[in-house]
Amino acid sequence: MPRTPAVAIVGRPNVGKSTLFNRLIGRRQAIVHDQPGVTRDRIVGHSELRPGRPVDWIDTGGLVPGQDPLGINEQVLLAAAESDLLLLVVDGHQGLTTADERVRDALIATRRPVLLVVNKIDTRLAREGFAEFYALGLGDPVTVSAEHGLGLSELHDRLLAELPAAEGEESADARPADDALAVAIVGRPNVGKSSLLNRLVGAERALVSAQPGTTRDPVDTALERDGRRYRLIDTAGIRRRAKVSGTPEDLAVLLAKRQIERCDLALLVVEAPAGVTSGDLAVAAAIRDAGKAAVIAVNKWDLLDEEGRLRLEGSWPRLAETLADPPRVNLSASTGRGVEKLFERIEAARRALTVEIPTGELNRLLEAAIARHAPPVLAGRLWKLLYAAQVSKTPPTFMLFANRALPREHSYRRYLENRLREALGLAGVPVRLVVRRRST
């Protein structure tokens, strides 16, 4: 299958790259804020310029040639090297700056074609002054206002002319829903999520830094392994709202939870020496509440001493209870130890998410469970199962018809869920029971 063309959106900080990215993909995926440096990592989105012309868009952090303690510049240039076309975004309000010229020089050195985009052209002064950007020597610029959606039609036309066609490539919407398993890598800040992503894909795909909160935006990475396709979503560290400081971090918390919503499976990264913390449990609760399958990556296993081991094992049962005894892999993202085992657990979860059980077998299983543990008395009558059937997959969902409804938090409902989970091999996979009252 021909490769989808990739376009990297590049420029100095705070020129509107993320706003333009969101316009081009048609949804709010990148964090937009007027504080320079909010986008610190690469973000990938997909859309079509027109039917049959798909594009992968790459939003990047602000490029500031010179000192680069967090490795942001390196990430921008890696994105440029992967792309077929670069959009150099400049600020029409501020006019041409020395920083724009330095960014241009860095992009020309990549030997990739560059299309100049003058953003924030929604004022008369900006529209009259954009000609100064011809001094960059990049040909005719495209003028847009990403915030207000102005000039995008001309930008689309220029992109169609500049980008190589990918004839015969099917769009993302045309692919089967189960074509790639969406795996969100989630966890508290600084537990090694981006390091694990890099180890899984074998490239410095996400920015890695010892500073908590470095990854503020999600990074989607396509991965194919042994004929299986995955879409890895690296997310910002989730924190309790009460502990979030600063608007960008607050936005990142909300966005990370949204990434859990769009995944099939959440890979929860826990820091082994710290044990299972209240923050880990908060993330686990978000996964559970979203009804997603879970696999636990216990990272930094190579740093674990005896005291840490006791702390981890003592705190593990609360996490296991929250996520229905999820599969666990002890590993070290920095050395690679144990990382290969993750794919076995992920594939097991993939199979479990699509499990189907014949109606007769399901009813026999539930009848056996009820025989082992008598049902409760509700409103003066013994609860009685009349009939059950599986009504959905991903996750497995079962409709139970009974003489009485069964409250959502009732212990007997949890008992039946656990028996189904054990019988069908659904460790770490949500089991949904929908109980309907039917008169007898």
| pLDDT tens figures, 250-292 | 444 455 576 787 788 999 999 999 999 988 998 898 888 888 8
Q: Which residue has the higher pLDDT, 189 or 23?
A: 23
Residues 137-158 have a mean pLDDT of 89
Residue 429 CA to its chain's centroid (Å): 18
State the pLDDT confidence band at 29, using cuts at 50, 70 and 90.
low
Q: Which residue has the higher pLDDT, 371 or 353?
A: 371
Task: Indicate whether 1 pLDDT > 50.
Answer: no
Q: If we measure between CA atoms, which residue out of 177, 176, 280, 290 comes closest to residue 238? A: 280
Q: Which residue has the higher pLDDT, 373 or 220?
A: 373
For 12-76, give the DSSP string.
STTSSHHHHHHHHHTS--S---SSTT---S-EEEEEEEETTEEEEEEE-PPP-SS--TTSHHHHH
Q: If we measure between CA atoms, which residue out of 300, 306, 288 comes closest to residue 339? A: 300
What pLDDT is attached to residue 360? 93
Burial (CB count <10 Å: 0-12, 13-18, 19+), residue 388: buried
Backbone angles phi, psi at 172, to 5 degrees: -60, -35
- Compute how many other C-beta atoms are within 10 angstroms of the C-beta atom of residue 321: 12
β-strand pairing of 432-437 with 397-402: parallel
Q: Which domains does the chain have, with CATH numbers?
A: 6-162 (3.40.50.300), 176-353 (3.40.50.300), 359-437 (3.30.300.20)
**Averaged pLDDT score across all residues of the chain:** 82
Share of the chain above pLDDT 90, in %: 37
CA angle, residues 228, 425, 191, in degrees to nearest 5: 65
Residues 297-308 have a mean pLDDT of 95
What pLDDT is attached to residue 28? 56
* Separation between Cα atoms, residue 89 and residue 91, nearest integer Å: 7
What pLDDT is attached to residue 201? 85
Q: Over the stretch 65-124, which tens digit does the pLDDT of each residue have?
A: 776 656 678 878 888 887 899 999 999 988 999 999 999 998 998 889 999 999 998 887
What pLDDT is attached to residue 424? 92
The whole-model pTM stands at 0.59
